[in-house]
């Protein structure tokens, strides 16, 4: 993806988690191009030499595991020392995704998903609030359309994204007296490696399942395998345009639904529950008709 370099901005410091690939990496490069100072947090540091050469000290890598308290503390000490204790924005992007019927999900994977998607987001936000308060900054949550509309086969992932919706609503009102704005983005499918990882997870899960569990929900797994491989993705540029509003609009919205497919799916929430359930059951096959 090519990003046109803007005139240097005000060097506002932004911390983004999960910056090693996908949405996080794209957001990181976009922020740098707009003149921000970027702290790119990633669990396994893999510094982009091109970005370092192009942006110098404005691009700063952080070894950051959002599920580890010591890692968060160490990263925040660096941010604190290099920003005079002021942070313009926190982008909670770190997350994992996978599908599968609840009956078939290995609990260690469910715990790992919630550790990253929910508890990691909670911990990072808590750690950043004092720095955000000092600059009357912003918090951007990377949610999902699955945090609004829960489809069959996404019980763990949807639960984690629904939790972020609740966290965002509560936090928005807690932090408003301090001038901190909180926004959640709700994209549909964005073309990123997260879907390749989801396919790998399906294979791993099937290896751990009993033969009965595997056969019962095979149509559901096949549906998500096809979705991950073939569903048309929303361009990254649409997500970045919304991120700009969340970070730079004088009065950002509480939430932004990103992409045509996500906006269409959000309309289903206005239907009676029974009708919405019938539509979902037709669209997402859980078992075979045999």
Residues annotated as part of the active site = 157
Report the DSSP pairing between strands 138-142 and 255-258. unpaired
| Residue-wise DSSP of 79-134 | HHHHHTT--SEEEE-------B-GGG--HHHHHHHHIIIIIIHHHHHHHHHHHHHH
Task: State the Cα–Cα distance between residues 80 and 62, nearest whole angstrom.
Answer: 12
Phi-psi region of 286 (alpha: psi -120 to 50; beta: other; left: phi over 0): alpha
DSSP 269: G
Helix (H, G, I), strand (E, B) or coil at 142: strand
Nearest Cα to 206, choosing from 133, 106, 136, 61?
106
Buried b / exposed e along 16-46 (16+ C-beta atoms within 10 A): bbbbbebbbbbbbbbbbbbbbbbbbbbbeee
Torsion of CA 21, 23, 29, 34, to 10 degrees: -170
**Which secondary structure element, helix H or strand E, spans residue 212, and what is its range?**
helix 211-216
């Amino acid at each position: 993806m090519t990003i046109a370099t803007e005139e240097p901005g005000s060097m506002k410091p932004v911390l983004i988690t999960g910056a090693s690939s996908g949405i996080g990496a794209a957001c990181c490069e976009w922020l740098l191009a707009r003149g921000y100072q970027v702290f790119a947090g990633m669990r396994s540091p893999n510094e982009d030499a091109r970005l370092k050469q192009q942006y110098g000290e404005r691009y700063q890598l952080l070894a950051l595991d959002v599920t580890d308290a010591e890692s968060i503390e160490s990263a925040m000490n660096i941010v604190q020392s290099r920003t005079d204790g002021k942070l313009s924005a926190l982008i909670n992007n770190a997350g994992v995704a996978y599908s599968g019927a609840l009956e078939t999900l290995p609990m260690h994977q469910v715990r790992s998903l919630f550790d990253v998607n929910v508890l990691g987001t909670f911990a990072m936000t808590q750690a950043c609030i004092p720095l955000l308060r000092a600059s009357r900054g912003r918090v951007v949550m990377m949610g999902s359309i699955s945090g609004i509309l829960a489809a069959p086969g996404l019980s763990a992932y949807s639960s984690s994204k629904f939790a972020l919706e609740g966290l965002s609503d509560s936090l928005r009102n807690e932090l408003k007296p301090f001038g901190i704005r909180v926004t959640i983005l709700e994209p549909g499918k964005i073309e990123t490696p997260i879907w390749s990882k989801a396919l790998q997870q399906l294979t791993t899960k099937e290896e751990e399942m009993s033969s009965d569990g595997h056969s019962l929900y095979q149509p559901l797994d096949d549906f998500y395998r096809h979705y991950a491989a073939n569903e048309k993705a929303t361009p990254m540029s649409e997500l970045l345009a919304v991120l700009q509003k969340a970070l730079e609009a004088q009065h950002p919205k509480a939430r932004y639904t990103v992409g045509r497919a996500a906006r269409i799916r959000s309309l289903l929430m206005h239907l009676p529950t029974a009708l919405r359930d019938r539509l979902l059951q037709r669209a997402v096959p859980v078992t075979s008709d045999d």
